[in-house]
Amino acid sequence: MPDHINYKGAAIALLGAYFFEKLEKIGVPTHYAGLVEDNTVKKLSEIKNPVNIMEVKLLQVISPELQGDQYDYSMYRSEKKGFLIPLEVIYRNSLPPGSSIFKRLKDREIMPGDLGLDKEPVPNQKLDKPILDVSTKLEVTDRYLTWAEAQQISCLSNDEIIKLKNLTNRVNDLITREFSKIGMINEDGKIEVGFDDKRRLMVVDVLGTLDECRFTLDGFPVSKEITRIYYRNTAWREAVEDAKKKDRQQWKNICELKPEPLPSGLNMLISQIYCACTNEITEKEWFKDVPPIKEILKDIKEILPS
């Protein structure tokens, strides 16, 4: 995307640290070491000003090799510890209109029964229990998988798949509880996971931010979905879809258009949303003079296409 969103990096780093430290308190291993301020690694409570640098424990990232139109994951059979699991795990508490579930159902890639549903879902449907979905992480374009396919390419045992699902549910519960305190609904989100040096599951990347999750407030998106809504009615979006139909792996190279910059007013409001969310969840005013989320959303609604 062409735009830089002011303070977004710091807002995500601070909020990510908040959730990593919450996981530490309940005994969930992560790759988080701390935030960096004045060349010193600190816990969130020790940070004086917004920072955008996080120190983490490194893992191997072992990219599968593309052979023809298939990826070769055979190298994972011999890997035992200290690597990123090549999966992205998605939890779904409800199905907002922008959920990829609806396109996959329409294209008959999945059926309602695959989701544990007895009939076709409708937009904004709340789920009785979360759906856990899984996709590739290290391919050019993320590809949804069945859990059997996910287990096969990652070479996880039956017990490790169960632990991975349980871990995802714990993260989901934590994020849902925290955002409910400020009146926001955790619609869906994703986590990334690796193995530490003892082959224990550990949460990596970042979690609980407006880029990893889809939140709503009074039914309106509070996440990077705001940007998606803006671009959804542009010629660039149509060009992307056309390019993906031609070649899903190389679509970026053949797409004929580039995205236009966001209107400056919308850019500023998106920046404020990231900052306000971090302020309100952490209960600390990291970013000064930022309006409450509800006030920012009023202005965003006036700009976005209806």
Question: Is 121 domain-assigned?
Answer: yes
Question: Is 189 domain-assigned?
Answer: yes
Q: What is the pLDDT of residue 140?
A: 86
Q: Which residues contact 16 (CB under 8 A, 6 or more apart)?
A: 32, 54, 206, 207, 208, 209
Domain that holds residue 166: 68-215
Asked if 119 contacts 129 with a C-beta cutoff of 8 angstroms, the reply is: no
Question: Is 75 domain-assigned?
Answer: yes
Question: Is 83 domain-assigned?
Answer: yes
Question: Is 51 domain-assigned?
Answer: no
* Tokens, residue 2: 């062409």
Number of domains in the chain: 1
Q: What is the pLDDT of residue 9?
A: 97
Question: Is 84 domain-assigned?
Answer: yes
CA dist., res. 263 & res. 268, Å (int) = 9
Question: Is 305 domain-assigned?
Answer: no
Q: What is the pLDDT of residue 97?
A: 85
Can you tell me which residue has the tokens 């797409």?
Answer: 255
Asked if 91 contacts 71 with a C-beta cutoff of 8 angstroms, the reply is: no
Whole-Å CA distances, 252 to 104, 237, 244, 256, 266: 21, 12, 8, 9, 25
CA dist., res. 115 & res. 275, Å (int) = 35
CA dist., res. 274 & res. 288, Å (int) = 13
Asked if 188 contacts 93 with a C-beta cutoff of 8 angstroms, the reply is: yes
* Tokens, residue 22: 């919450």
For residue 82, the domain's CATH number is 3.30.470.20
Q: What is the pLDDT of residue 83?
A: 98
Question: Is 199 domain-assigned?
Answer: yes
* Tokens, residue 126: 């709340």
pLDDT, block means (10 residues), the chain with 306 residues: 95 98 97 98 98 98 92 96 98 91 93 91 94 95 94 98 98 98 97 97 98 95 94 93 88 93 96 98 98 97 86
CA dist., res. 277 & res. 15, Å (int) = 8
Q: What is the pLDDT of residue 249?
A: 78
Q: What is the pLDDT of residue 141?
A: 84
